[in-house]
Chain A
Amino acid sequence: MGQKEKSAHVVTSAKKEHDKHESEHHELGFVRKYIFSQDHKVIGIQYGITSLLFLLFGFSLMMIMRWQLAYPGQEFPWKWLADFMGQANMPGGIMLPEFYNQLGAMHGTIMVFLGVVPLAVGAFGNYVVPLQIGTIDMAFPKLNMTSYWVYFLGGVTMLVSFAMPGGAANSGWTSYAPLSVIATTGQTVWLIGMVFLITSSLLGSINFIVTIIQLRVKGLTFMRLPFFVWAQFVTSFLLLLAFPPLEAAGVLQLMDRLAGTSFFLPSGLVVSGQPLAVSGGGSPLLWQHLFWFLAHPEVYVLILPAMGIVAEIIANNTRKPLWGYKSLVYSAIFLGFMSFIVWAHHMFLTGMGTTISTFFQTTTMIISIPSVIILTALLLSLWGGSIRFTTPMLFALAFLPMFAIGGLTGLPLGLAPPDIHLHDTYYVIGHFHYVVAPGTIFALFAGIYFWYPKVTGRKMNELLGKIHFWTSLVFINGVFMPMFIQGLAGVSRRLYDGGAQYAHAQGVLQWNEFMSTSAWLLGLAQIPFVINFFWSIRKGKKVEANHWDATTLDWACTTSPPLAHGNFKVVPEVHRGPYDYSHQGAQSDFLPQNQPGEA
């Protein structure tokens, strides 16, 4: 609304007033400029920094859990950290099961809702999309600022929940009822936090869709959009339409917890030997349906922007057009559509019936087709290219096999019969972590290395980047590969002792120590990245505005474009598709989208 105010203000005012308005722009105070900023670039950076911190925090929770998994019941080696967790959680440095559950639930919540999605959509989407479509800002800048701050509030709420009596939410990131309904106060705070996060994504997704539809510059037709923009576009629709049912579910669960209703509580529920004094008549399955109606599209929210980033980097570093651009676009759209009708493949073991299972395993097999098309198109794009093995390209290349492992291991889970064996085992954990961690998060690292020069005007150090890449690649596989072995042996997830007290787990228990060590080394492997990230802001090699010789419009504007609608000095006009590399007969090996003429 506010931007409309400004724009109309300028349109209708006299020149004198216009100048005054302009000077006001330049005199924006520190707070308006960097904290409550309405500029998409600043908001993108805010999202980026906040979500990276949450990623680190969520990862730390897991590194603490991995101690308990590797050495169940043993005293935590760092006394100060055990003391910091408090006597209620780690008496004498030994982790209590209740605390383990909190860490598990919050690890999932933080990584998904506060880490990966805000980084992939909030940070990259905000910074890059308006630049790639050649516009000066998002369609609704005030709304954009609001989404960030509502997200921030959601994050703070989640952190505060650790200080509640009984600690944070401890019913898993899926918050299955009725367990979550009778859980400690932390769960209520979790639900309130989720309402904030849902509102934030809702505002953000509306903003992205309107921006992409309305603010494309002249000549930038839909089929000339960079694939990254397409990915963000489909993602926004998923966020827009899949999150509200979770909001509804959250409201219902809040009612169950606070107003004594029984939406998710069946009749005759007995808790700790006592019949629960509620009216009953509710359905625990209802929660799962509503939750997975969001959470399955959410998987594609996690993966699509990553695919977009990888597509940009692959086209740029192979110096040739993406193979099958149209197939990529149609696959992404089809993927987005299908993702709304596969949710119950998470629920084969709930007793919902074989007919429904048959339907959902069929749709699940169908949705694997567009994913495979996308991956194959990206893989074929490498064919015959003279590949530049830069750090972003290494991460993008690693994304392909890592995501492939994640995707292919998902097929047995999508079919009901093998899922009976594999459901809720470490196999599932391995599967989706391959998709999200060495898949999406690697793509996000690739994006950071790739767009860092655009944001700062300096390049991140290549050597540190390569150390970061190779060590991360080795250790991350060390963490997740053994999970398949344990899962196939039948070790359940969410076990406080990592399976130590189960006979069938004894043959694979030795992997726990290996995985934990890999996880801690993976933590250490991020140190070069952190150093590189901060060091390069001031000391990195200075580079030109179009450092990577890229074709899309984000590289046509200056480095770190000026705030207050200053992205482009002249509004660009688009004359060609997004990846016109190695055009026959052209002067250089790349033709920017805004370059007129045939070649």
Chain B
Amino acid sequence: MEIPYTIHPRPDTGVYNAKLGVWLFLASEVMLFGALFSSYVLLRIGSDSWPHGYSILDWKIATFNTVVLISSSVTMVMSWASLMLKDFKKYKLYMGLTILCAFIFLAVKAFEYNTKFGHHLYPSTNTFLAIYFTITGLHGLHVIGGIFVNSYLWGPGSKMWKTQPERFTNRVEVAGLYWHFVDLVWIFLFPVLYLL
């Protein structure tokens, strides 16, 4: 006997196991980042002075990064859609673009961090920078995690397309849900840290 609903959805719930699993995982991630954003609010209203994000951080380069990340979400959907249309070559292309965007994002982020360190701005400098480095750092770790997953699905993991196309498409869908979440966190993070 084998575990049911690993590929096809259970009729009364309408989802397959992994999809439900990843949604639950994302719920917990909401709580994780929610706690950090709440900490931001609490620290900010409790402090005597709080710098405007744009006075310390480079909002222009971050806007560029926002565009990069949103584009990667679009290519991620395209890669999944390509699989649904049985076009494996296009899948490879779009998934490759997604990973490329993730690397560009990280490179820009590294450049930003480096500039801050160059100006002697560290997490220990003040509470604003502390929360900035912590939240963006944790988000960066999520991006790195996404790169690992997506690269696996682009490279060695894509062999599954030949043997179990449906299951492979599910995997890409689930990875996509996670990737959109990483994107979404940034969309909250960007205005809160850079613009307010």
Binding site for B on A (CB under 8 A): 1, 3-4, 6-8, 10-12, 135-137, 139-141, 202, 205-207, 209-210, 213-215, 240-245, 247-249, 251-252, 255, 259-263, 278-279, 281-283, 286, 289-290, 293, 565-566, 568, 571
Contact = CB atoms under 8 A, between A and B. Distances in A.
Interface stretch (B35-43, B86-94, B185-193): B35-43
Interface string B1-25: 1111111001001011110110011
A45 B51 CA distance: 54
A141 B138 CA distance: 28
Contacts of A281: 43, 47-48, 126-127
B29 A4 contact: no
A213 B13 contact: yes
Contacts of B7: 4, 7-8, 11
Interface centre among B6, B131, B167 (most CB of A within 10 A): B6
A566 to B, nearest CB: 8
Interface stretch (B60-68, B97-105, B107-115, B117-125): B117-125
A540 B52 CA distance: 71
A206 B21 contact: yes
A551 to B, nearest CB: 23
Nearest to A255: B134
Q: What's the dominant secondary structure at chain A's contact region?
A: helix
Contacts of B46: 283
Given A241-B27, A263-B39, A10 B2 contact: yes
B24 A7 contact: no
Contact of A140 (B21, B34, B35, B122): B21
A290 B40 CA distance: 12
A261 B1 contact: no
B130 interface: yes
Given A206-B25, A261-B134, A248 B32 contact: yes
Most buried by A among B1, B15, B133: B1
Given A3-B3, A12-B163, A279 B36 contact: no
B31 interface: yes
B24 A8 contact: no
B43 A261 contact: no
A261 B123 contact: yes
B3 A248 contact: no
Contacts of B55: none
A240 B29 CA distance: 9
Contact of B127 (A140, A205, A282, A290): A282
Contacts of B134: 251-252, 255, 261, 263
A252 B39 contact: yes
Given A4-B18, A248-B39, A283-B46, A214 B27 contact: no
A248 B43 CA distance: 14
Contacts of A4: 3, 6-7, 17-18, 167
Contact of A290 (B29, B39, B48): B39
Contacts of A286: 39, 42-43
Nearest to A571: B1
A255 B13 CA distance: 42
Given A210-B24, A259-B124, A260-B124, A565 B167 contact: no
Contacts of B125: 279
A210 B20 contact: yes
Contact of B164 (A12, A249, A289): A12
27 contacts: A1-B18, A4-B3, A7-B2, A7-B6, A135-B3, A136-B1, A136-B2, A139-B17, A206-B24, A209-B24, A214-B17, A244-B29, A245-B31, A248-B33, A248-B36, A252-B39, A259-B122, A260-B124, A262-B124, A263-B39, A279-B124, A279-B126, A282-B127, A283-B42, A283-B43, A283-B46, A565-B2
A282 B35 contact: no
A386 B130 CA distance: 64
A240 B24 contact: yes
A205 B17 CA distance: 14
Nearest to B167: A8
Contacts of A206: 21, 24-25, 28
Nearest to B138: A251
B124 A214 contact: no
Contact of B10 (A6, A214, A290, A293): A214
A259 B35 contact: no
A290 B131 CA distance: 15
Contact of A241 (B2, B5, B31): B31
Contacts of A11: 2, 7
A565 B3 contact: yes
A286 B127 CA distance: 13
Given A206-B25, A279-B126, A8 B164 contact: yes
